[in-house]
Structure 1
Amino acid sequence: MNPLHVLRDAWFFFSHNLPAIARLCLPLIVLEAVLQQHVGAAVAPESKALYRILVGLLFYPLYTGALILFLDARSNGQSPAARDLLAVSLRLWPTFALLAGLNTLAILLGASLFVLPGVWLMVKLAFAEYLLVLRGLSPLKALHESFEMTSGYFWPMLLCVLGVALPLWMLDGWLQQSRPDDDLTGLALSSLNGFLQLFSTVVVFRLFMLRSALPARE
């Protein structure tokens, strides 16, 4: 599980399937950005972070679930229609939203203690979404199984996750601080940031596929 090979393979897939991924996920990402913009303008500054998470829980499971299904289908040589992927993702939304909420809560609690526990949990829970979508596990079972699967593979996974997450976090932080005066520009930048975040899903899917083919380690 070489981090450089994982990132290289993920980038190759992402770049070569960019139009299909954009057609599948970008409309929902733009809708999410629009709603984030309107909610951000309507609520008090101290409440923005909470409402941002809630809006994310509305849209994130839909386009991420569809993307995971797309990744799995393409890895098996299939080319399903976007509407079929979104239909399955919509059926999965209640359990995926619950999982995403539990995942977010756990990581935020870990980060509130120190940064490192939050990062540790982010890696340990990284496979939960794939286990729920592709193997049909319940949210709690998916979280538990993710802990088991990542045992012995923490460090290469950490390098892959941080290699993608750190630049995206920096971009997101810059967007939050810059707050363009032009609403359209702000919407475009937020949508671009949300779309680029999808690359992390591709990277973790590659890790998930590799880990599924490897034996468990202590």
Structure 2
Amino acid sequence: MNPFDVLRDSLYFFKRNLLQIAQLCLPLVILEALLQQVVDHSTEPDSFPGISVMVGLLVYPLYTAALILFLDARSRGESPRTRDLLAMAATLWPRFALLTALNTLLILLGLSLYFLPGLWLMVTLAFGEYLLVLRGFAPLAAMKESLRLTRGHFLRILLCILCVMGPLWILKGASLAIYPEPQNALLSLLIDSAHSFLQLFTTVVIFRLFMLISESPDKTDRAV
């Protein structure tokens, strides 16, 4: 499994299905960015930082679960309707939000411990969302199974994540350099929405990795 083959295949899929992905996720991505703006402008700079995380927990699980369901359906040659995907995602929201909260808490804690533990957790917990949405795992069980599935594939997964997120971090930094704070509200909304939408490509890449690793003979044998 060559990471660059995974990235190439994922990019081809993302480009080919860009319109459907935009129709499915972009309205919720914009809503999330708008809510974040409202929170940022209505709270003091030294207020509780967890408020922004809570805003993300309201919307992120919906569009991410819907995207994962879309990726799974397209991998089987199906073309589900947007409203059906969103309805299914809504039923998964409580468990997905709990999983996201646990992952975020652990990764932030790990990042505070000299960064590397957080990086390790980010990689080893990467499959939890897919296990919850596609395999019906409970949040804690999905985290545990993700730790098992990613064993032996850390560097491959990390390389794929960095190849996607690295350019996005640079792009985000460049946009802030060109349009420094304080930004126009509309411009800030456009930048944040575009950045969050492009991050969805990471979901496509990790889905491709998840399918390859979870369906490999050695992983299947251990799961039986």
- Shared fold per TM-score greater than 0.5: yes
Task: Flag the 1:48–1:40 CA change in 2: closer, same or farther, 3 A.
Answer: farther
Look up the equivalent residue of 2:211 and give its one-letter code. M
- Residue aligned with 1:46, SS: coil
Report whether the alignment pairs 1:181 with 2:170: no
**Structural RMSD (CA):** 1.8
Look up the equivalent residue of 1:196 and give its one-letter code. L
1:179/1:186 contact within 8 Å kept: no
Structure 1: 5+ residue stretches without partners: none
Which residue does 1:65 correspond to in 2? 65
Task: Please list the CA deviations of residues 99-134 of structure 1 after superposition, one character each: whole Å capped at 9, or x if unmatched.
Answer: 000000010010000111111100000000000000
Once residues 131 and 47 of structure 1 are traced to their aligned partners in structure 2, the CA distance between those partners, rounded to angstroms, is 35
Task: Please list the CA deviations of residues 43-80 of structure 1 after superposition, one character each: whole Å capped at 9, or x if unmatched.
Answer: 11133742221111110000000000000000000000
Deviates more, 1:144-153 or 1:41-50: 41-50
Q: CA shift at 1:163, angstroms?
A: 1.0
Once residues 43 and 169 of structure 1 are traced to their aligned partners in structure 2, the CA distance between those partners, rounded to angstroms, is 26
Q: CA shift at 1:176, angstroms?
A: 6.3
Once residues 181 and 139 of structure 1 are traced to their aligned partners in structure 2, the CA distance between those partners, rounded to angstroms, is 38
1:113-152 matched pairs, under 5 angstroms:
113-152=113-152
Look up the equivalent residue of 2:140 and give its one-letter code. L
Look up the equivalent residue of 2:54 and give its one-letter code. L
| One of 211, 216, 219 as aligned partner of 1:209 | 211
What's the TM-score once normalised by structure 1's chain length?
0.95
Look up the equivalent residue of 1:94 and give its one-letter code. P
Task: Flag the 1:18–1:48 CA change in 2: closer, same or farther, 3 A.
Answer: farther
Which residue does 1:27 correspond to in 2? 27
Give the % identical residues: 58
Which residue does 1:190 correspond to in 2? 192
Once residues 190 and 114 of structure 2 are traced to their aligned partners in structure 1, the CA distance between those partners, rounded to angstroms, is 33
Deviates more, 1:125-134 or 1:45-54: 45-54
Which residue does 1:55 correspond to in 2? 55
Structure 2: 5+ residue stretches without partners: none
What's the TM-score once normalised by structure 2's chain length?
0.92
Which residue does 1:109 correspond to in 2? 109
Which residue does 1:7 correspond to in 2? 7
Q: CA shift at 1:173, angstroms?
A: 4.8
- Residue aligned with 1:166, SS: helix
Deviates more, 1:52-61 or 1:88-97: 52-61
Look up the equivalent residue of 1:14 and give its one-letter code. F
Once residues 208 and 157 of structure 2 are traced to their aligned partners in structure 1, the CA distance between those partners, rounded to angstroms, is 11
Once residues 65 and 56 of structure 2 are traced to their aligned partners in structure 1, the CA distance between those partners, rounded to angstroms, is 13
Q: Hey, which bits of structure 1, 4+ residues long, moved more than 6 A?
A: none
Task: Flag the 1:50–1:169 CA change in 2: closer, same or farther, 3 A.
Answer: farther
